[in-house]
């Protein structure tokens, strides 16, 4: 048994970078997944094969991707699929399947499943192409689960208006190592059983964890995971 939800956790103020949180509770586990998007065309989701089998404190992004427009109705997606000793601990990924128009998880490319399979269990590809060549916004009925879509559109509109005014997009801020840190990752922790079905309590905890992820961006990579764990455990004390 468990519960799940989505929330806007904490924007990186002054930038066109935003953090999206998905919190999930499985029995006595609270799982905060954070993904990031830089407008106009860059995003990093967390580990696609993450498991809540143990506590984890921010293993990084599973994918780094760019969407490059070709014309008004076509685009190309260029991506890196990440592998490390901290990602996909269950060994579900398959590097041999990663390449041109191919990746090692379902629902990303055309032709990997039949039309009927895509309709029964739609994934990213069906969501992207099922809207038609150009999406007519006035025909949409956005719901709670479309919060990220609405936020991305707001950021894109703001960026276009700023450019018209001569305002350049903000540049990423480097961390103590001189590298650009990510906000994409997972924090999986054990929680009190009494709070498992309390959606408000779980959402509040997810937002606090998300803020810790943002607040630790300036730290060196070798220090950040330990600091995230320290601050999260303090929340639970």
Q: How confident is the model at residue 5 (pLDDT cuts 50, 70, 90)?
A: very low
Q: Is residue 122 part of a domain?
A: no
Q: Is residue 136 part of a domain?
A: yes
Q: Is residue 183 part of a domain?
A: yes
Mean pLDDT of 165-180: 91
Peptide bond into 149 cis (omega under 30): no
pLDDT value of residue 206: 87
For residue 45, the SS3 value is: coil
pLDDT value of residue 25: 53
d(C-alpha 31, C-alpha 59), whole Å: 12
pLDDT at position 159 over 70 = yes
Q: How confident is the model at residue 22 (pLDDT cuts 50, 70, 90)?
A: low
pLDDT value of residue 17: 55
Burial of 39 (0-12, 13-18, 19+ CB in 10 A): buried
Q: Is the pTM of this model over 0.85?
A: no
Q: Is residue 117 part of a domain?
A: no
What is the token pair recorded at 47? Answer: 């580990």
Q: Is residue 119 part of a domain?
A: no
How many domains does the chain fold into? 1
Residues spanned by the domain of 215: 2-84+127-236
pLDDT at position 135 over 80 = yes
Q: Is residue 102 part of a domain?
A: no
The residues pairing with 29 across neighbouring beta strands, listed in sequence order, are 26, 190
The distance in angstroms from the start CA to the end CA of the chain is: 24
Percent helix, strand and coil across the chain, each rounded to 5? Answer: 30, 25, 45
71-92: per-residue pLDDT in tens?
Answer: 999 999 999 999 999 999 999 9
Mean pLDDT of 105-115: 89
d(C-alpha 167, C-alpha 202), whole Å: 38
What is the token pair recorded at 194? Answer: 């009494």
Residue holding tokens 């950040």?
A: 224
**In this predicted model, which residue has the larger pLDDT, 22 or 102?**
102
**Percent of the chain at pLDDT exceeding 90:** 46
């Amino acid at each position: 048994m468990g519960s799940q939800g989505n929330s806007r956790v904490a924007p990186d103020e002054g930038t066109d970078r935003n953090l999206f949180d998905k919190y999930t509770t499985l029995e006595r586990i609270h799982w905060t997944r954070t993904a990031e998007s830089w407008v106009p065309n860059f995003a990093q989701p967390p580990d696609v094969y993450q498991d809540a089998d143990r506590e984890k404190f921010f293993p990084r992004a599973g994918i780094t991707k760019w969407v490059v427009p070709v014309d008004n109705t076509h685009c190309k997606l260029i991506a890196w699929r990440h592998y490390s000793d901290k990602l996909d601990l269950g060994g579900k990924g398959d590097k041999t399947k990663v390449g041109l128009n191919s990746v090692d998880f379902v629902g990303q490319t055309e032709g990997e499943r039949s039309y009927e399979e895509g309709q029964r269990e739609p994934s990213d590809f069906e969501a992207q192409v099922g809207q038609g060549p150009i999406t007519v916004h006035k025909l949409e009925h956005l719901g709670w689960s479309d919060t990220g879509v609405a936020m991305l559109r707001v950021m894109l509109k703001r960026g276009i208006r700023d450019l018209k005014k001569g305002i350049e997009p903000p540049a990423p801020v480097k961390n103590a190592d001189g590298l650009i840190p990510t906000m994409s990752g997972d924090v999986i922790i054990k929680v009190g059983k009494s709070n498992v079905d309390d959606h408000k309590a779980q959402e509040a905890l997810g937002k606090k964890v998300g803020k810790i992820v943002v607040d630790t961006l300036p730290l060196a990579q070798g220090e950040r995971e330990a600091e995230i764990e320290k601050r999260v455990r303090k929340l639970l004390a």
